[in-house]
Amino acid sequence: MNREKMALVRQNFVRVFGDGGDIRCYFAPGRVNLIGEHTDYNGGHVFPCALTIGTYGVARKRNDNKIRFYSVNFNKLGVIETNTQNLVYQKNLGWVNYPLGVMWAMDERGKKMECGLDIMVFGTIPNGSGLSSSASIEVITGFILNDMFNFGFSNQELALIGQYSENNFNGVNCGIMDQFAIAMGKKNNAIFLDTATLEYEYAPLKLAGAKIVIACSNKKRGLGDSKYNERRAQCEEALADLQKKLDIKALGELDEETFEENKGLIKDPINYQRAKHAVYENQRTIKAVEALKNNDLETFGKLMNESHVSLRDDYEVTGKELDALVESSWTQRGVIGSRMTGAGFGGCTVSIVNEDDVELFVERVGRDYKEKIGYKADFYVVDIGDGPVKVNF
């Protein structure tokens, strides 16, 4: 979180909505997942961390029931207005449906806004990058409402409310990982989360002279209109086939050996591939965290690489842009591991790179990508940050 950026957003708030009243400032991070992709809705493990880039928010109560939204990122859209009696999905509202969904989800839980709000947001997460700009908006909205109206939710509950709203208001069947990683982030730690039970532990990221480098493909993607929901349905079909013999509730309950012994139960070959990824990726994640605890960064990197291959070949969610970034990364000096991160179909890759080689890595991967794809990628050397905060001025 950058206090100078926060101050600028507050100035913008006053310019757009006027001065006076109790103006409050907030920040919620984005997240990157180091390993454990498409496992969260399959009852498996994930290993994300919160970032120091994210969403800045400024809010103030109104004396009526109007809710006015303004995004610095989408300033051409101007102020978008609705009210506390109209918490319904409207396609023409665009990005506003994410905070509106959280308001609706809280209303469903009996936590009603006693008045309207003016809300301004500014995101430093590249839009459509797969670093969870939507979940960051959801968490910051929940955090704002919790503070403004003393609703009393824990951060973990805010994560569940964000997921519920995205599933049921915005129609994206996402798992819990994004909202959980953002709401529960801890500086310099990743979160080893069992998505089936929500049991979690913080794991210090001891990267021993290495840095996390995110490469944004600039291929835009949207979860709702991608094949994300289709992948989830395929996994559910595979699970239903396995349940005819096995007493399991999720693919994440299986180890590789049990899966191989019973894979013949899965009728559709495509569904088999999807389930194979979910099972093996979950086990990779468990092994990767164990390697990190043992300061075995080399094994962690190899598991990252294997994760990308599985996402490319079995889950088929990478695409030429992400493959180009990762395949170039694998050839560079000082690269410990590299893989796509997020839902796929565009978005970002995450690499662990020796600090001394980062500059050359960015230059060479950027050059290779532009030559192959025709437009440039953007690179971010990131730090691991905390969860949502209220910022006092």
* Positions marked active-site: 178
Check residue 214 and give left, alpha or beta (phi > 0: left; psi -120 to 50: alpha).
beta
Q: Tell me how far apart the alpha carbons of residues 279 and 19 are, in angstroms, rounded to a whole number.
A: 54
245: which residues sit within 8 A by CB, 6+ positions away? 262, 265
Residue 51 identity: L
- If we measure between CA atoms, which residue out of 51, 337, 304, 343 comes closest to residue 191? 51
